[in-house]
Amino acid sequence: MNQVRNRQIIIKMILFVFFCATMSAHAQESIQQFPSKPITIVVNFPVGGGTDILARILGNQFNESFGQPAIIENRVGASGNVGAKHVADKAPDGYTLLMVNSSYAINPGVLSSMPFDPKKDLVPIINIAFVPSVIVVPPDSPYKTLAELIAAAKPTKNTISFGSCGNGTPQHLAGAVLNIDAKTHITHVPYSGCGPALRDVLGSQIPMAIITASSAATYIKSGKLIALAITSSERTIQLPNVPTVAEQGYPGYQINQWHGLLVPAKMPSALQTKLYDHLLRIVQQPEMKEKLISIGYTPAYDDPATFGKLVQDDIDRFSRLTKMIGLKSD
């Protein structure tokens, strides 16, 4: 009886090993054949915004790099969480990607509850590009330098306010960090996007704004706006003469908006690597690099490990910051 039972156990083990080997071989074959159909890039922001434009520029190159076209699908709502949850629930087969920006890392600290775990349910594949924000004032502003602005904003009661691209955006947090680091008291005025904030600072409706450098670059170069500082850790290619906040007396200051692609967390590492290699080939094309720079982005090539660390660190950093300033948007 024991011999029969042992023989049955051995047979089951052999069948299990055979099954695992077959599944592994099938998975490897699927990865080698990937992609065999169009790839969907889900954008969790509306059509026409910076993240959407970047996704479409990238998607235009998929046929050449992947041998399959990209389908851009905008799924907006809940501060980007609708699109993110949709991708998190998809099969980890490489056919559904999520295009996000730094708001992905801000949401966990701003929202009381999340429909998915941003640290566990999605994994980063590649950081496509950075876009810093810029502190701007109209030409008739009495503040021609960041130091002059900060000096005027130090008293608890002052009339200086800054417009941002909205509550909980990187631009809002850039102003909050400036208030903390410089011990200023600049009032935040949230707008429904960078465009409306840009319009009001151009018309001197607000004394200053913090908006994406890509939105403001043309107006800075034409003299319609004065740039006091860039919020990134280094100067930007588009505005090389505009100093950073850090180099003007606030070392360590850095708020940079990244844009990258994420995938469902259970995707095999071999497929993640294949995706990264194809996407890197696209971003490294000279014409792609020129295009990104021309619209205000700094190309990036962060691999899954590097980009993953950036996302995880930003989730923790922004959670601490939003708690410090008491920011909640729900």
Spans of all domains in the chain: 37-130+257-325, 132-248
- Cα 244 versus chain centre, distance: 20
Name the DSSP letter for residue 212: E
Give the pLDDT of residue 26.
Answer: 46
Domain 37-130+257-325 has CATH 3.40.710.10: no
- Helix-helix angle 286-294:50-59, to 10 degrees: 160
Give the pLDDT of residue 27.
Answer: 46
Please give the structure tokens belonging to residue 171: 């631009």
Which stretch of DSSP H or E encloses residue 22? helix 2-33
Q: DSSP for 200-227, please give it.
A: HHHTTSSSEEEEEHHHHHHHHHTTSSEE
Give the residue among 230, 259, 260, 261 at the shortest CA–CA distance from 247: 230
Give the pLDDT of residue 11.
Answer: 65
37-130+257-325 and 132-248 in the same fold: yes
Tell me how crowded residue 192 is: count the other CB atoms within 10 A of its CB.
10
How far from 295 is each of 30, 54, 271, CA to CA, in Å?
37, 9, 31
Give the pLDDT of residue 79.
Answer: 81
Give the pLDDT of residue 193.
Answer: 82
Give the pLDDT of residue 273.
Answer: 96
Domain 132-248 has CATH 3.10.580.10: no
Q: DSSP for 234-253, please give it.
A: S--SS-TTSPBSGGGT-TT-
> Residue 233, exposed/middle/buried by CB under 10 A (0-12, 13-18, 19+)?
middle
pLDDT in tens for each of the 330 residues of the chain? 556 666 666 666 665 655 544 444 444 557 888 999 999 999 988 888 788 989 999 999 999 999 999 999 999 888 889 999 999 999 999 999 999 999 999 999 999 889 999 999 999 999 999 999 999 999 999 999 999 999 999 999 999 999 998 888 899 999 999 999 999 999 999 988 888 999 999 999 999 999 999 889 889 999 999 999 999 999 998 899 999 999 999 999 999 899 999 999 999 999 999 999 999 999 999 999 999 988 888 899 999 999 999 999 999 999 999 999 888 876
Tell me how crowded residue 11 is: count the other CB atoms within 10 A of its CB.
10
Give the pLDDT of residue 48.
Answer: 81
Give the pLDDT of residue 24.
Answer: 45
Contact 73, 42 (CB under 8 A): yes
Give the pLDDT of residue 327.
Answer: 86
